[in-house]
């Protein structure tokens, strides 16, 4: 008897194998040879390892022959005849052997074993420790419904009941075996001395009997070979860990490739394996993460020599499964708040807040205002007796004066007055203004002024309760002026005193004394409270106070002030250009005498390319086209253009599909000859000097230190870092998988990751507990906060539960972090529907009381370059004295515009509403569509296939019934869903879902719920959520052609993730990390706006980086 575990007989031919009663692979950990005859080779004699992008062929379901002839009549896009589109038939393998003619007989596993072992002497000579094996040809695995499946995904993640078929081979004997219950498998071939692996399947009816896969059915080849590739990856990684015990997960970024390349070069199995990857692949973290369960599975059964290595035990290893993650965030806890924040939110969240008085809390209260006395007689109500006396003539032609005396009260330009309101206004309403011009008209006079708003005239009118203690005394300076017409001087009721720049009213008991801390700008696109500065009230020497509404007719002077030679600008298109897109130009020269400039036009590569997909929209062509230009009213704003030498990798600012209006060029277009050429060495040197890369420009700017709250996978922080003005130093979140994702995508090696509740972190900081991980007060320059949105989301139908309310109360936590740390800037993101909640306006009121400027607006992901319909509220806050950042301009057009839900969000005051979202007639780019961002991804069919080059291009495996429904959803017309298929008779009774049928409700002429709806190739994704389930709350998640939901990689691209971004966890974890993220494109655009505020050369009196980067970006 031969035993392969005997060193003396190892390697001799026998069909008696090493015992495999457990999952321990068939060799010792030292890598001694344990090869068993013929193995399953990665490079087979009759099969090549080719992963076909279009997927394997399938048998059509014989149950539905009539569906193969079913046609749908649709309207033609031309005036020609109707177009008939054949609905794809059901793709399903009902059994591994379709025709009985293929094989004469089929047997059960027990029958096959008896046949193969008949007349064999082996079974008589085997001991209990021996293991028998047979070879399998034409191997295939399928589920109980007869559908071919990836056994690893189905079995290990869903515990499905699986079966396999194949031809069992023993010597010259061959017998077809069907319906074998899949039990388990084992892998042989670990160790650096082994080049080849063997995969064994255990018998379901005999102990110590294993099967070795030699070949598969053609229909199963792609699934099987993808699995074999994963197995080789597992072998190589575990061999590397075992050979290099001290390596960590981060060493996969480069060290693993160097090791495997040096140790395996020349090995045909390795060469074939590595050929399936991009030749530039050096970082294997993507691949290992998406196969970590298999790798850990094998390491565990190989024993402590593998599983207890630092690679798996390191805190941030995706292979380390912490028990801590099951408790953090699961139990409801009270939200930690400061006393000021508690006052604003306590009645909204009773019993959910934990108020803590910070140590050294006097620092948060500020210094008290001094009491300033006033002359009460000067502020009496005017009777307007006698003729007004004008003094201090400013302009004879306009009869403007510096002051006027009414009764015995002198009113100057720059004084504040109360105006008699209209009769329609209630008796308690007071109209207060700031005088900008006094004019003599006959024996009387007239005034022009700027209105000062009360709190009820601003967006604070949306507060259910105004909890500010000095609310009746606060006024807001505005740009709402009365410059078009004069108001009679008799409308002045009295002179009043306003203390500008004060945070409290010095004389709280005097009804005619007020204070003004902020200017209020109720713009259509964003409402803003900004710090009041005295420069706002500086009078003009000739015309009195400038209110800011005047239009300077000298457009060339304005242009000259903003732009210089070699700047790149966007101008409105000329006749013959693409009418929806701005034209990109470079300023070649400026003619001061004649008042015009010479521009050089850039051409878009997409204008000249015939490729529908694959051409970068932000790639330009330098051209020889020069022209003189004096239409300065057609200048839109500046943009960034940089030279990228051919073959060089794109910097990250160019990877956001044009967001931020960042362009690049590598070639020259000659307009007359219509040829494109590469620049020579002299031109390349010139281009590098005139068009430097973005990060060379921002290098002189001091980066702000960022605290990233509710950081998730880090997409918001990464986007801000991409802009170049921020470095994330601290990140807090309770989700361990998200924190690991953050860690492995972090640029900064010294980022402190805190996998803990924000409430515990803030409580420790406020109590001065010694924790080296926490930032000190004064260290945080900017906070980013994407607070939990589930409680505000329209998808959540249980918004009043304790968990939802607890999540909502975390908005108060953000305010408390601001109150305690006092950063220079804050950015808060949440779902658009938060504006319907009282908590949103309480937050604004609270931040204003703390002393922060506020700007709030709605941003569309589509209009910032994401191929996704995602609309979110963004709130900027800036400390006193800082320049308040704005919201980014629209860079991408929405071709299929529909923003009905967000036309007017809330009242900003003075009959002005925050417009929310609207389309624009011209932008820098067209809309990025589903087809454009996914054109290069291979097909997955129902989700069974996996491709090494796209490791996270994986999708949720649906149930059999859902798969059957998805196969019947028409691909035309675009956007078809379950109801579309049902109306066309394509859903048989056995597949109808009561859940879907019962919710078919007419809603404004359409369906209220959309089940199993396909995305449209030429449109955008629906809002990317944290899971992909075919229910009415997750519409448009079905692929536009395939019978599956969208993959993790497709969702990540829709969210602006880069191809190099690593997503930790299993498929469900990855969907959650992606769905909870702020689109990186938007974060990048907001980061650029922060940079503009930091380098704003028009605010020289404010603290900033003394580096003029921005013009009118």
Is residue 789 part of the annotated active site? The answer reads yes
pLDDT in tens, 617-667: 999 999 999 999 999 999 999 999 999 999 999 999 999 999 999 999 999
What is the Cα–Cα distance from 543 to 394, expressed in whole angstroms?
Answer: 7
What is the Cα–Cα distance from 761 to 759, expressed in whole angstroms?
Answer: 5
Tell me the mean pLDDT in the region 903-915: 71
Q: What pLDDT is attached to residue 538?
A: 61
Q: What pLDDT is attached to residue 1053?
A: 97
Burial of 1 (0-12, 13-18, 19+ CB in 10 A): exposed
496: nearest Cα among 415, 410, 424, 581: 415
444: nearest Cα among 386, 500, 379: 386
Question: Max alpha carbon distance in the chain (Å)?
Answer: 132
Is-contact 946 938, C-beta < 8 A? Answer: no
Is-contact 722 698, C-beta < 8 A? Answer: no
Cα end-to-end distance, the chain, whole Å: 83
pLDDT in tens, 262-304: 999 999 999 999 999 999 999 999 999 999 989 998 999 999 9
Q: Which is higher by pLDDT, 1092 or 25?
A: 1092
Tell me the mean pLDDT in the region 224-246: 95
The model's confidence at residue 604, banded by pLDDT at 50, 70 and 90, is very high
Give me the chain's average pLDDT, please: 81
Is-contact 877 889, C-beta < 8 A? Answer: no
Quote helix, strand, coil % in the chain, to nearest 5: 25, 25, 50
What are the structural domain ranges in the chain?
16-57+95-320, 378-545, 560-691, 702-928+1082-1094
DSSP 358: -
Alpha helix ranges (H) inside 118-264: 122-125, 151-158, 221-243, 255-264
Tell me the mean pLDDT in the region 222-231: 94
Q: Do domains 560-691 and 702-928+1082-1094 have the same CATH topology?
A: no
Is-contact 1089 886, C-beta < 8 A? Answer: yes
The model's confidence at residue 898, banded by pLDDT at 50, 70 and 90, is low
The model's confidence at residue 39, banded by pLDDT at 50, 70 and 90, is very low
Alpha helix ranges (H) inside 724-831: 736-745, 758-766, 802-821
- Statement: residue 344 has pLDDT above 90: yes
Cβ count near 110 (within 10 Å): 14
1037: nearest Cα among 999, 1006, 1075: 1075
Q: What pLDDT is attached to residue 1084?
A: 97
Q: How far is CA 27 from the centre of its chain?
A: 46
Q: What pLDDT is attached to residue 435?
A: 92
Token representation of residue 23: 């999952």
- Statement: residue 912 has pLDDT above 80: no
Token representation of residue 683: 């031109």
969: nearest Cα among 961, 979, 960, 959: 979
- Statement: residue 1034 has pLDDT above 80: no
Token representation of residue 358: 């910070």
User: Which residue is it, tokens 């199993």?
Assistant: 1012
What is the Cα–Cα distance from 431 to 410, expressed in whole angstroms?
Answer: 19
857: nearest Cα among 928, 913, 925: 913
What is the Cα–Cα distance from 328 to 1002, expressed in whole angstroms?
Answer: 42
**Helices and strands, number each (H, E), in the chain:** 28, 45
Tell me the mean pLDDT in the region 754-776: 86
Please pick, among 112, 547, 568, 789, the residue that the annotation labels catalytic: 789
- Let me know how long the chain is: 1113
Q: Which is higher by pLDDT, 847 or 326?
A: 847
Task: Please give the CATH number for the structural domain made up of 560-691.
Answer: 2.30.30.490
What is the DSSP secondary-structure string of 594-630?
TTEEEEEEPEEHHHH---SSS--TTEEEEES-EEEE-
The model's confidence at residue 711, banded by pLDDT at 50, 70 and 90, is very high
The model's confidence at residue 245, banded by pLDDT at 50, 70 and 90, is very high
Q: Is 768 left (phi over 0), alpha (psi -120 to 50) or beta?
A: left
Instruction: Please give the share of the chain, as a percent, with pLDDT higher than 90.
Output: 51
Q: What pLDDT is attached to residue 131?
A: 81
pLDDT in tens, 507-544: 878 889 999 999 988 776 677 899 888 777 765 544 44
Which of 656-670, 935-949, 993-1007, 1086-1100 bottoms out in mean pLDDT, i.e. has the lowest?
A: 993-1007
What is the DSSP secondary-structure string of 92-106?
----S---GGG-S--
Q: Which is higher by pLDDT, 1049 or 1033?
A: 1049
Q: Hey, which bits of 942-1057 come out as E strands?
A: 1002-1003, 1006-1007
Q: Which is higher by pLDDT, 100 or 774?
A: 774
Contacts of 1013 (CB under 8 A, 6+ apart): 969, 975, 976, 977, 978, 1035, 1036, 1037, 1038
pLDDT in tens, 155-198: 545 556 889 999 999 988 999 999 999 888 999 999 999 999 99
What is the Cα–Cα distance from 613 to 442, expressed in whole angstroms?
Answer: 72
Alpha helix ranges (H) inside 851-956: 930-934
Is-contact 521 458, C-beta < 8 A? Answer: no
pLDDT in tens, 994-1019: 878 877 766 555 556 778 899 999 99
What is the Cα–Cα distance from 18 to 15, expressed in whole angstroms?
Answer: 10
Contacts of 642 (CB under 8 A, 6+ apart): 654, 662, 663, 664, 691, 692, 693, 694
Contacts of 809 (CB under 8 A, 6+ apart): 335, 345, 348, 349, 352, 353, 839
E strand or H helix at 481: strand 474-481
Tell me the mean pLDDT in the region 101-120: 78
DSSP 954: -
Cis peptide before 973 (omega within 30 of 0): yes
Is-contact 276 229, C-beta < 8 A? Answer: yes
What is the Cα–Cα distance from 977 to 1011, expressed in whole angstroms?
Answer: 6
Q: What pLDDT is attached to residue 1047?
A: 96
The model's confidence at residue 79, banded by pLDDT at 50, 70 and 90, is very low
Q: What pLDDT is attached to residue 549?
A: 60
Q: What pLDDT is attached to residue 429?
A: 86
1035: nearest Cα among 715, 794, 786: 794
Q: What pLDDT is attached to residue 368?
A: 43
Burial of 784 (0-12, 13-18, 19+ CB in 10 A): buried
Q: Is 561 helix (H, G, I), strand (E, B) or coil?
A: helix
- Statement: residue 14 has pLDDT above 60: no
Instruction: Please give the share of the chain, as a percent, with pLDDT higher than 70.
Output: 80
What is the Cα–Cα distance from 165 to 97, expressed in whole angstroms?
Answer: 9
Q: What pLDDT is attached to residue 75?
A: 32
What is the Cα–Cα distance from 802 to 830, expressed in whole angstroms?
Answer: 19
Q: Is 1065 left (phi over 0), alpha (psi -120 to 50) or beta?
A: left
Q: Which CATH number fits domain 378-545: 1.10.10.60, 3.40.190.10, 3.20.20.70, 2.30.30.490?
A: 2.30.30.490
What is the DSSP secondary-structure string of 701-746?
SPPEEEEEET-TTSHHHHHHHHHTSEEEEEEE-S-HHHHHHHHHH-
- In degrees and rounded to multiples of 5, residue 990 shows phi and psi of -65, -15
pLDDT in tens, 921-932: 899 999 999 999
Contacts of 892 (CB under 8 A, 6+ apart): 658, 659, 862, 863, 864, 865, 923, 924, 925, 926, 927, 928
Alpha helix ranges (H) inside 32-128: 109-117, 122-125
- Statement: residue 33 has pLDDT above 50: no
The model's confidence at residue 908, banded by pLDDT at 50, 70 and 90, is confident
Across 479-488, 541-550, 1054-1063, which has the greatest mean pLDDT?
A: 1054-1063
What is the Cα–Cα distance from 8 to 168, expressed in whole angstroms?
Answer: 30
What is the Cα–Cα distance from 361 to 761, expressed in whole angstroms?
Answer: 17
Q: What pLDDT is attached to residue 1000?
A: 76
The model's confidence at residue 901, banded by pLDDT at 50, 70 and 90, is low
Tell me the mean pLDDT in the region 1091-1103: 67
What is the Cα–Cα distance from 510 to 495, expressed in whole angstroms?
Answer: 13
What is the Cα–Cα distance from 1110 to 805, expressed in whole angstroms?
Answer: 42
Is-contact 1109 1088, C-beta < 8 A? Answer: no
787: nearest Cα among 888, 854, 725, 874: 874
- Statement: residue 914 has pLDDT above 90: no
Q: Which fold has domain 702-928+1082-1094?
A: Rossmann fold (3.40.50)
Contacts of 1093 (CB under 8 A, 6+ apart): 878, 882, 883, 884, 885, 886, 1104
Q: What pLDDT is attached to residue 1032?
A: 64
Which of 158-162, 404-408, 852-856, 995-999 bottoms out in mean pLDDT, i.e. has the lowest?
A: 158-162
Q: What pLDDT is attached to residue 379?
A: 82
Is-contact 1032 1082, C-beta < 8 A? Answer: no
Signed CA dihedral, 578, 584, 587, 588: sign only: negative
b/e 421-431 (16+ beta carbons within 10 angstroms → b): eeeeeeeeebb
Q: Which long-range contacts (CB under 8 A, 24 or more apart) does 328-333 make?
A: 328/734, 328/735, 328/736, 328/755, 328/756, 328/757, 329/734, 329/735, 329/757, 332/802, 332/803, 332/806, 333/757, 333/759, 333/806
Token representation of residue 202: 């255990």
């Amino acid at each position: 008897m031969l035993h392969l575990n005997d060193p003396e007989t190892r390697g001799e031919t026998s069909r008696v194998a090493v015992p495999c009663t457990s999952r321990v692979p068939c060799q010792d950990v030292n890598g001694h040879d344990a090869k068993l005859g013929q193995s399953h080779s990665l490079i087979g004699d009759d099969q090549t390892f080719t992963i076909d992008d279009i997927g394997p062929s399938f048998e059509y379901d014989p149950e539905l022959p009539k569906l193969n002839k079913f046609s749908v009549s649709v309207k033609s896009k031309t005036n020609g005849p109707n177009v008939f589109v054949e609905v794809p038939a059901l793709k399903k393998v009902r059994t591994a052997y379709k025709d009985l003619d293929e094989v004469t007989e089929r047997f059960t596993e027990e029958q096959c074993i008896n046949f193969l072992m008949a007349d064999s002497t082996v079974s008589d000579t085997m001991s209990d420790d021996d293991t028998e094996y047979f070879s399998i040809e034409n191997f295939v695995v399928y589920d109980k419904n007869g559908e071919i499946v990836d056994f690893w995904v189905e079995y290990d993640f869903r515990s499905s009941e699986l079966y396999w078929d194949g031809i069992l081979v023993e010597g010259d004997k061959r017998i077809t075996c069907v319906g074998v219950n899949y039990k388990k498998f084992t892998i042989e071939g670990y160790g650096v001395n082994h080049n080849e692996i063997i995969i064994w399947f255990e018998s379901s009816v005999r102990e110590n009997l294993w099967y070795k896969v030699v070949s598969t059915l053609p229909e199963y080849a792609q699934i099987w070979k993808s699995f074999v590739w994963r197995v080789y990856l597992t072998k190589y990684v575990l061999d590397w860990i075992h050979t290099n015990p001290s390596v960590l997960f981060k060493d996969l970024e480069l060290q693993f490739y160097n090791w495997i390349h040096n140790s395996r070069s020349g090995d045909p199995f390795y060469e074939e394996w590595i050929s399936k990857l991009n030749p530039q692949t050096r970082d294997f973290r993507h691949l290992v993460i998406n196969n970590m369960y298999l790798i850990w599975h094998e390491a565990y059964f190989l024993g402590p020599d593998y599983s207890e290595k630092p690679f798996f035990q390191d805190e941030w290893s995706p292979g380390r499964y912490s028990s801590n993650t099951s408790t953090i965030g699961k139990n409801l806890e009270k939200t930690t708040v400061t006393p000021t924040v508690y006052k604003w939110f306590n009645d909204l969240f009773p019993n959910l807040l934990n108020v803590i008085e910070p140590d050294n809390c006097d620092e948060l209260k500020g210094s008290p205002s001094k009491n300033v006395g006033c002359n009460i007689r000067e502020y009496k109500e005017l009777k307007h007796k006698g003729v007004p006396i004008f003094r201090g003539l400013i302009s004879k032609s306009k009869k403007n004066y510096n002051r006027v005396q009414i009764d015995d009260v002198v009113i100057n330009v720059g004084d504040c007055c109360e105006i008699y309101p209209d009769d329609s206004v209630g008796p308690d309403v007071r109209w207060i203004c700031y005088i900008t011009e006094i004019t003599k008209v006959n024996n009387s006079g007239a005034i022009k002024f700027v209105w000062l708003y009360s709190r009820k005239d601003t967006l604070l009118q949306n507060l259910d309760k105004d909890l500010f203690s000095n609310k009746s005394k606060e006024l807001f300076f505005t740009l709402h002026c009365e410059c078009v017409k004069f108001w009679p001087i008799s409308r002045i009721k009295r002179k009043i005193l306003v203390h500008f720049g004060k945070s409290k009213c010095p004389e709280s008991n005097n009804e005619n004394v007020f204070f003004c801390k902020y200017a209020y700008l109720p713009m259509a696109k964003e409402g803003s409270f900004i710090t009041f500065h005295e420069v706002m009230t500086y009078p003009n020497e000739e015309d009195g106070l400038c209110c800011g509404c005047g239009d300077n007719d000298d457009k060339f002077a304005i242009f000259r002030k903003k732009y210089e030679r070699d700047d790149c600008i966007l101008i409105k298109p000329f006749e013959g250009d693409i009418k929806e897109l701005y034209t990109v130009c470079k300023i070649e020269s400026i003619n001061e005498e004649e008042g015009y400039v010479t521009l050089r036009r850039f051409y878009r590569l997409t204008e000249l390319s015939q490729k529908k997909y694959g051409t970068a929209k932000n790639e330009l062509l330098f051209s020889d086209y020069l022209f003189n230009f004096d239409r300065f009213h057609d200048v839109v704003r500046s943009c960034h253009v940089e030279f990228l030498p051919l073959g060089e990798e794109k910097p990250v600012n160019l990877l956001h599909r044009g967001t931020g209006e960042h362009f690049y060029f590598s070639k020259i277009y000659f307009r007359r000859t219509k040829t494109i050429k590469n620049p020579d060495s002299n031109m390349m040197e010139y281009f590098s000097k005139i068009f430097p890369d973005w990060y060379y420009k921002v290098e002189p700017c001091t980066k702000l230190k960022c605290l990233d709250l509710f950081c998730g996978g880090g997409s918001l922080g990464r986007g801000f870092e991409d802009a170049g003005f921020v470095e994330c130093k601290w990140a807090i979140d309770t989700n361990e998988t998200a924190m690991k994702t953050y860690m492995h995508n972090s640029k900064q090696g010294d980022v402190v990751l805190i996998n803990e509740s924000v409430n515990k972190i803030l409580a420790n900081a406020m109590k001065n507990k010694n924790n080296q991980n926490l930032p000190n007060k004064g260290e945080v320059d900017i906070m980013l906060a994407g607070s939990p949105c589930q409680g505000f989301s329209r998808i959540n139908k249980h918004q009043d539960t304790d968990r939802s309310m607890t999540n909502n109360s975390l908005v108060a936590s953000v305010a408390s972090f601001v109150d305690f740390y006092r950063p220079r800037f804050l950015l808060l993101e949440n779902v658009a529907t938060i504006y319907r909640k009282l908590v949103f306006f309480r937050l604004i009121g609270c931040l204003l009381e703390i002393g922060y400027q506020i700007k709030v607006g709605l941003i569309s992901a589509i209009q910032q370059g994401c191929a996704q319909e995602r609309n979110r509220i963004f709130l900027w806050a800036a400390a006193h004295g800082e320049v308040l950042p704005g919201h980014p301009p629209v860079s991408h057009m929405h071709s299929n515009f529909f923003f009905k839900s967000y036309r007017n969000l809330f009242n900003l005051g003075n009959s002005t509403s925050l417009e929310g979202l609207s389309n624009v007639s011209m932008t820098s780019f067209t809309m990025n569509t589903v087809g454009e961002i996914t054109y290069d991804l291979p097909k997955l069919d129902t989700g069974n296939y996996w491709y090494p080059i796209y490791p996270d291009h994986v999708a949720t495996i649906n149930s059999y019934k859902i798969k059957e429904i998805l196969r019947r959803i028409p691909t035309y017309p675009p956007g078809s869903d379950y109801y579309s298929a049902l109306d066309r008779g394509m859903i048989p009774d056995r597949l109808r879902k009561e859940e879907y049928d019962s919710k078919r409700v007419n809603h404004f002429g359409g369906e209220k719920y959309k089940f199993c709806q396909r995305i449209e190739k030429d449109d955008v994704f629906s809002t990317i959520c944290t899971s992909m389930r075919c229910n009415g709350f997750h519409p448009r998640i079905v692929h536009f052609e395939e019978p599956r939901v969208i993959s993790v990689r497709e969702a990540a691209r829709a969210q602006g993730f880069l191809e190099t971004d690593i997503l930790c966890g299993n498929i469900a974890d990855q969907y959650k990390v992606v769905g909870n993220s702020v689109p990186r494109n938007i974060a990048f655009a907001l980061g650029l706006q922060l940079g503009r505020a930091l380098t704003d050369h028009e605010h020289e009196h404010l603290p900033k980086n003394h580096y003029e980067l921005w013009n009118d970006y």
